[in-house]
Amino acid sequence: MSKLVTIGVRIPEEILKELEESAKEEKVDKSTVIRQFILEGLREYKREKAARLYKERRVSIDGAAELAGLTVREMVDYLIRKGYRSSYSYEDLEKEMELFRKS
């Protein structure tokens, strides 16, 4: 892990209590739990952003996977879990197969 820096953050008491409970359950200190939650939040943010850009057809599936820090297979699985339905049709597949055969 890279160099750690200290930041100050104001959070509601309820969230602090949940963080303390999580730290106790995981048998780690509060700072570790906070870092883990922030890291998971950033990962999910990147996956959601990549999925949105893919749905908007602004990036390809491999571009979305790269943005999300996932393999293409993992990105496809993520999209499926999130309920994404592909607009890729059987006709699209046939066209690509025909182009493949010609090359």
For 20, the domain range is 13-102
Does residue 4 form part of some domain? Answer: no
Total domains in the chain come to 1
CA neighbor of 75 nearest in space, from 92, 53, 91: 53
Residue 6 counted as domain residue = no
Task: With respect to residue 43, please indicate whether it lies within any of the assigned structural domains.
Answer: yes
Q: How many CB atoms lie within 10 A of CB 68?
A: 22
46 inside domain? yes
pLDDT digits (tens, 9 = 90+) for 8-52: 999 999 999 999 999 999 999 999 999 999 999 999 999 999 999
Residue 1 has pLDDT above 70, yes or no: no
Q: How many residues does the chain have?
A: 103
Domain membership of residue 39 (yes or no) is yes
Whether 56 maps to a domain, the answer reads yes
The pTM score is 0.76
Residue 65: inside a domain, yes or no? Answer: yes
Q: Is 19 inside a domain boundary?
A: yes
Please choose, from the candidates 33, 6, 9, the residue with its C-alpha nearest in 3D space to the C-alpha of residue 20. Answer: 33
Helix, strand, coil share of the chain (percent; to 5): 70, 0, 30
